[in-house]
Amino acid sequence: MARREYISRFYRAWMEAEGLSRVRVVRGESDLLILCRSGLERRADALLACARTETEEAVSSVPGFIDSTAPLPLRRHLPPMAKSMIKAARSWNVGPMAAVAGAVAHRVAAGLRELSPRVIVENGGDVYAYSPEPITFRVYPGEDSPFPDGFGFTVDASRGVAVCTSSWSVGPSWSAGRADAVAAVARDGAFADAAATSVANRISVEGDVGPVVASSVRRGLTGLVAMAGGVMAVKGRVRITGLKGA
């Protein structure tokens, strides 16, 4: 199967939430699409700037923070978001930057929630959301998959939820495995992001999907979905649903 980059973020056209405005915020490598109450562009930009500052502080003060693929020791002096990334990475045996997109989405969503009860922040395929109603997410394994339309699953977002993804066949992020799609669901954005990376890294063939998903269930992870070739495994509190037009 040939790897496809999908850098255009075409999937953003699928994102919709009635009554919410669409806000795009870009700083450096961070490119966020936010669905929230109107008039929050400046607030969202300020929150992203703070998240990036905390990450840059960790990168400059912790050797290996930006390029390590293995966990690093936790340091007391680090800002809260960087600490959450290191803790998540240690839980899943990956490097701290494997948790950065989910951590940033969580930080921005939490900062907007006080002004917008419904908010969805998407950061390169990693999402953090608050909503009184359940939210349906779409998992897309790529056009070469036996399931080219993907599928949907619905989760409770009333207390905040992270849905983070990793893939070998879709998207620009590097993966050590061959999973077409992995989606991890958790309350903490960094934890979900690190989980998705770890699970995807350990799926090399279709036969790995079931055993890897079964062995990855642990405290803090509320749901897990993985696909490779013609095999899919689902675990936890997620409800598989249909997709409009699929």
User: Above 60 in pLDDT, residue 2?
Assistant: no
Per the structure, the count of domains in the chain is: 1
In a domain, 246, yes or no: no
**pLDDT: is 113 or 125 the higher one?**
113
Domain assignment of residue 4, yes or no: no
pLDDT of res. 149: 77
Residue 1 lies in a domain: no
- Give the pLDDT confidence of 163-185 residue by residue, as tens digits: 999 998 776 666 788 999 999 99
150 neighbors 139 (Cβ within 8 angstroms): yes
pLDDT band at 246 (very low <50, low <70, confident <90, very high): very low
Indicate whether 163 belongs to any domain.
yes
Torsion on CA atoms 77, 81, 87, 90, rounded to nearest 10: -100
pLDDT category of residue 95 using cuts at 50, 70 and 90? very high
Of 134, 113, 109, 125, the residue nearest 188 (C-alpha): 109
Mean pLDDT of 7-13: 75
**Mean pLDDT across the stretch 4-19?**
72
At which residue do the structure tokens 């600490």 appear? 83
Nearest Cα residue to 228 out of 246, 214, 240, 210: 210
Q: Is residue 1 over pLDDT 50? A: no
CATH of the domain at 148: 3.10.520.10
Q: Is 115 within a domain? A: yes
Structure tokens at 56: 């840059």
Residue 186 CA to residue 197 CA, distance in Å, equals: 14
- Assess if residue 139 is contained within a domain: yes
**Considering the domain boundaries, does residue 54 fall inside one?**
yes
Q: Per-residue pLDDT tens for 24-59? A: 999 999 999 999 999 999 999 999 999 999 999 999
CA–CA separation, 109 and 173 (whole Å) = 22
Residue keyed to tokens 């340091």? 75
What letter would DSSP give residue 245?
T
CA distance 94 to 185: 17
Tell me the pLDDT band of 92, cut-offs 50, 70 and 90: very high
Which domain, by its residues, includes 152? 10-241
